[in-house]
Amino acid sequence: MSLAAPGTPPVAHIEFGLAPGATSASQYLLDASLSHDSEDSLEDLQFQWDVNGDGIWDCQWTYSPTFEYDFGIHGTFESTLTVKDTDDMTNMTKAWITVAEVDPPTTTAVVTATEGQYGWLRSEATVNLSAEDSSGVENEYYRVDGSAWTEYSGEFQISSDGEHELEFYSVDTESNHEPAQEMSVKVDTTPPSASFVTDDLDQPSDTVLVEWDCSDALSGVAMVKLSLDDWPVHWGVPGIYDSPGELATSYMLANLDEGAHTVELFVEDYAGNNVSVTYTFTVLPGADVDTWWLWVAVSAALAVTAVATVAWSLRKRKTPPSA
Ligand SMILES: [Ca+2]
Ligand SMILES: [Ca+2]
Ligand SMILES: [Ca+2]
Ligand SMILES: [Ca+2]
């Protein structure tokens, strides 16, 4: 009877460092690739890890010599690696890993611009970022409307009209990444459009219906003011921003004096941009009798006549024929 020559146990070896692409100082890559065995090649060795030193294996036996682990908290951890060869002979080694700090920085964005209502800005927006961290801030990053991330090196501008998405985050000196924050930056530097629909230069009546069109493509029309000869005669506000009401698009001017009059339409959007348009017309001589009232008076007279006629006919029908 002969015994096979006994093999020797493998030699276990640990290397470690931050995992590639780590977003926290506690995300590590452990590497057992320098482990070896006299009889077996690296491919035939199996590995098992207890990275955080709590006495519980953090994985099953695996042929992969690398293992990613996130400690999640700061502290010093006793990491254990066990290596097994094809003879089921094992060996163990340890390493101590210190996670200094895991709290990400906190970044604040300050947007400076001329402000309107409901978050709308009517000027180019200037953005300043500032970040705080107990271990120190390494870098700040930002991007606008999903473009490539840019390293922050001082204030920057968002100038084009529109509802922009600003994102920003910082990384501390321990490689802890702050989750990106989002902020809406709404820029509207374009005034509303406004024009009168009524355009007759001469008006034969002292009652004039003035009609207009107005709109705003970005923040929306917030207010309409109509003035007659510099006196405000009509104010219109649509109300609640999210579900605005209808704005009037006409106004009846009555009892106008003969001669020239100017109406001014002033329209403002929610960002605070405004536009004014004017319309000048002349109430012709002899128009001081309001034709609308004249029409009412004539109609009333006709109605009275009609009622009187009906009453007279009914009365006549009820009268019995004379004997
Ligand atoms: Ca061996
Ligand atoms: Ca463990
Ligand atoms: Ca930190
Ligand atoms: Ca606008």
Based on the structure, what is the number of domains in the chain?
Answer: 3
Ligand 3 center to residue 59 CA distance, Å?
Answer: 29
Q: How far is the CA of 218 from the centre of ligand 4 (A)?
A: 5
The whole-chain average pLDDT of the chain stands at: 91
Of 187, 211, 241, the residue at which a domain comes to its end is: 187
Question: Is position 305 within any domain?
Answer: no
Asked whether residue 119 is assigned to any structural domain, the reply reads yes
Determine the distance separating the centroid of ligand 3 and the alpha carbon of 99, expressed in angstroms.
Answer: 11
179 CA to centre of ligand 3 in angstroms: 13
Task: Give CA–CA dist 280/100, Å, rounded.
Answer: 76
pLDDT of amino acid 180: 98
More confident residue, 311 or 14: 14
The answer to whether 80 and 57 are in contact (CB under 8 A) is no
Ligand 2 centroid, distance to 94 Cα (angstroms): 13
For the domain that residue 267 is a member of, what is the CATH number?
2.60.40.10
pLDDT tens per residue, range 195-236: 999 989 999 999 999 999 999 989 999 999 999 999 999 999
Inside any domain, residue 63: yes
**Ligand 3 centre distance from Cα of residue 216 (Å):** 46
41 C-alpha to center of ligand 2: Å? 27
Q: What is the pLDDT of residue 238?
A: 85
Query: Can you tell me the mean pLDDT for 157-177?
Result: 97
Query: 201 is written with which tokens?
Result: 């230069």
Q: For 226-282, how does the pLDDT look when each residue is reduced to its tens digit (9 = 90+)?
A: 999 999 999 998 887 878 788 889 999 999 999 999 999 999 999 999 999 999 999
Of 68, 99, 130, which marks where a domain is finished? 99
Query: Residue 86: nearest ligand to its CA?
Result: 1
pLDDT at 114 over 90: yes
The strand pairing partners of 158, in sequence order, are 125
60-64, 151-155, 164-168, 232-236: segment of lowest average pLDDT:
232-236
Q: Is the pLDDT of residue 3 over 80?
A: no
Residue 17 Cα, ligand 1 centroid: separation in angstroms?
28
Query: End of a domain among 187, 217, 237?
Result: 187
pLDDT of 323: 40
Tell whether the torsion through CA atoms of 310, 311, 312 and 314 is positive or negative: positive
How far is it, in rounded angstroms, from Cα 99 to Cα 72?
A: 9
Q: What distance in angstroms lies between residue 157's CA and the mean position of ligand 3's atoms? A: 28
The larger pLDDT score, comparing residue 47 to residue 248, is at 47
Residue 49 has pLDDT above 80, yes or no: yes
Length of the chain: 323
Ligand 4 mean position to 252 CA, how many Å? 27
pLDDT of residue 182: 98
Say if 66 falls within a structural domain.
Answer: yes
Average pLDDT over residues 117-141: 97
pTM for the full predicted model = 0.74
Residue range of the domain that includes 114: 106-187
In degrees and rounded to multiples of 5, residue 268 shows phi and psi of -125, 140
Burial class (CB in 10 A: 0-12, 13-18, 19+), 283: buried
Residue 1's pLDDT is what? 47
- Residues β-bridged to residue 115: 121
Unique residue bearing structure tokens 């922050």: 152
Q: Is residue 303 part of a domain?
A: no
Q: Which ligand is nearest to the CA of 221?
A: 4
Least confident of 91-100, 177-186, 282-291: 282-291
Asked if pLDDT for residue 137 goes beyond 70, the answer is yes
Hey, how many other C-beta atoms are within 10 angstroms of the C-beta on 295?
10
CA 122 / ligand 1 centre spacing (Å): 75
CA of 273 to the centre of ligand 4 (A): 6
